[in-house]
Amino acid sequence: MSRDRIYVSETDHERLRALVEQHQEGRDAAAAERLDAELDRAVRVPDGQVPPDVVAMNSRVVYEDGATGRLREVTLVYPTAADLREGRLSVLAPVGAALLGLSTGQSISWTLPDGREVELRVRSVQQPPAAPAASAAV
């Protein structure tokens, strides 16, 4: 299956590769493998140059389930910050990995762990505010 390009910042790409390595074994191994496949097809762009309509880490995204038409709004986060009650979706979750790097209007067919195929379409993306320069040196 041919898929559209996705875009990921250099820093996110590096951090996500490290996350994949941390989860290569255990209960999240399949999720890490799927995220790894998405990173393989990603176009890496310099930090601060990710197009504003692209789903990046910590982006707020509204997506549509193609089967039901239901809209859902989530923030894409690293697993330690995930909390579905708060709308924070882990990038290791099947839908989180599917949304990463897509831009507004793009859709993706994705097989869930239970074997169901879903079609997800990105409706809108809001990038997180840029961090102040002084806090960059942590």
Q: Write down the pTM of the prediction.
A: 0.82
The answer as to whether 138 is a domain residue is no
49-71 burial, b at 16+ Cβ within 10 Å, e below that, comes to ebeebbbbbebebebbeeeeeee
Q: Domain with 11 in it: what CATH number?
A: 3.10.50.30
Q: Please indicate, yes or no, if residue 134 is contained in any of the structural domains.
A: no
> What is the pLDDT, as a whole number, of residue 52?
92
pLDDT, one tens digit per residue, over 65-102 is 988 999 999 999 999 999 999 999 999 988 898 899 99
* Mean pLDDT value across the chain: 86
Residue 137 lies in a domain: no
Domain assignment present for 135: no
3-state secondary structure of 36: helix
Name the band, by pLDDT with cuts 50, 70 and 90, for residue 16.
Answer: very high
Give the Cα separation of 75 and 35 in Å (integer). Answer: 17
| Count of structural domains within the chain | 1
Residue 135's contacts (CB-CB under 8 Å, 6 or more residues apart) are none
Position 63 in a domain: yes
- What is the span of the domain harbouring residue 53? 6-129
